[in-house]
Homo-oligomer: A and B are copies of this chain.
């Protein structure tokens, strides 16, 4: 285990992915035992602690079926199921701007499958853009540890292409061409705010 500077505890929830409930396979993500989600959470904690931005991951949506209420102790959920998220996983505020994004990774070395996103997430991103928010996705190619920021309006173009019968994935060269490479660092690990400064002229 990496000894983490923020002293954050491991929580059981982190071992499950939000939408499917499948166990994460961390082994593919270098030797750090860290997931893209971990790196983003640490990045957001860094932003928060420095007063740079307030961005949080939303809790995993759960459908609760049965709860026990033992005397003199906390309520225990005895039966529940993972629900599909109706929005994106991350949102918050940076310099007054509403920030909204989803983060996904693929084992595919040459293209990013669009099945990583759901129709209602695309519709959510559209609604955010219509309200003047900033929306994007963070895409990681696990085999090469390359991370890209792709703006929502560009993702939508690839989504529309698929809907019109085109390819069901985005070629890596397309992402490299229309998105921005994020160089992974130590603190913050995935400095996407720097990319937003540049894209939307927010650094001044």
Q: In whole angstroms, how far apart are the Cα atoms of A34 and B67 in the complex?
A: 21
Residue-wise, chain A 149-179 has the 8 Å CB interface mask toward B (1 for contact) of 0000000000000000000000000000000
Main secondary structure of the interface of A (DSSP, over half): mixed
User: B63 contacts A127, CB within 8 Å?
Assistant: no
User: A79 contacts B82, CB within 8 Å?
Assistant: no
Q: How far is the CB of A153 from chain B (nearest CB, A)?
A: 16
Residue-wise, chain A 71-88 has the 8 Å CB interface mask toward B (1 for contact) of 000111111111101110
Q: B residues within 8 A CB of A99?
A: 98
Binding site for B on A (CB under 8 A): 11-13, 15-16, 20-23, 48, 51, 53-54, 56, 58-65, 67, 69, 74-83, 85-87, 91-100, 124, 127-128, 130-133
